[in-house]
């Protein structure tokens, strides 16, 4: 009987571990837009180019976002070496992707499609939970904004569903029943001959 209780306890503990850890691992979702080659402007900056695309992705209702990153390249397939300076706005957060006249992105140096990556702050996470995010671009210097492969990468963890919580409660109740000693049942010790009988 004691062995049966131990095995049952192990089974319940395994079920609890599975219920608590199931779905607790981090998941990454990636959304990408086509290259953006804006119109040419020579004055009047900053110029609001508006929403140039909308990222679409699927997150579970119980998602808790741990990080979000906007990435891409300076330059596109059309002109891979340079871009006008610009900022982007995603879910209310402004990122200065290419500062005005910055040599790393604005000036031609012969390096094609230089990659960039910027982390979004936690303040933008709530707006991402609906599964979409607009990419808003503001041009800050002359020439043409050339934004290659705009990409939004989101890492999240799905918290346990209410049904999982109920399962954990049932498992705990079952464990308590299995481990409970029946009234009047003697407490056996190692010296008790009945323990060695099987």
Concatenating the DSSP letter of every residue in 52-93 gives EEEEE----TTEEEEEEEEEEEES-SSSTT----EEEEETTE
State whether residue 161 is helix, strand or coil: coil
State pTM to two decimals: 0.72
Domain with CATH 2.60.120 in the chain: 26-158
> Is the pLDDT confidence value at 188 over 70?
no
Q: What is the CATH number of domain 26-158?
A: 2.60.120
pLDDT in tens, 16-75: 445 454 546 899 999 999 999 999 999 999 999 999 999 999 999 999 999 999 999 999
Please state, for a pLDDT cut of 70, what percent of the chain lies above it.
69
pLDDT of 195 above 60: no
pLDDT tens-digit map of 82-113: 999 999 999 999 999 999 999 889 977 778 99
């Amino acid at each position: 009987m004691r062995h049966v209780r131990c095995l049952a306890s192990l089974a319940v503990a395994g079920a609890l571990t599975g219920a608590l850890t199931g779905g607790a691992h981090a998941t990454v979702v990636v959304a990408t837009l086509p290259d953006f080659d804006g119109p040419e402007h020579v004055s009047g900056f900053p110029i609001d180019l508006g929403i140039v695309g909308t990222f679409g992705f699927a997150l579970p209702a119980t998602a808790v976002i741990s990080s979000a990153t906007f990435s891409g390249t300076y330059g596109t397939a059309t002109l891979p070496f340079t871009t006008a300076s610009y900022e982007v706005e995603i879910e209310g957060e402004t990122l200065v992707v290419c500062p005005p006249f910055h040599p790393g992105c604005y000036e031609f140096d012969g390096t094609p499609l230089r990659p960039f990556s910027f982390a979004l702050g936690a303040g933008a996470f709530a707006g991402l939970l609906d599964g979409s995010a607009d990419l808003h671009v503001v041009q800050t210097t002359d020439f043409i904004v050339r934004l290659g492969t705009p990409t939004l990468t989101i890492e999240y963890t799905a918290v346990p569903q209410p049904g999982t919580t109920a399962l954990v409660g049932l498992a705990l109740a079952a464990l308590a029943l299995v481990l409970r000693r029946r009234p009047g049942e003697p407490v056996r010790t190692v010296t008790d001959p009945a323990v060695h009988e099987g």
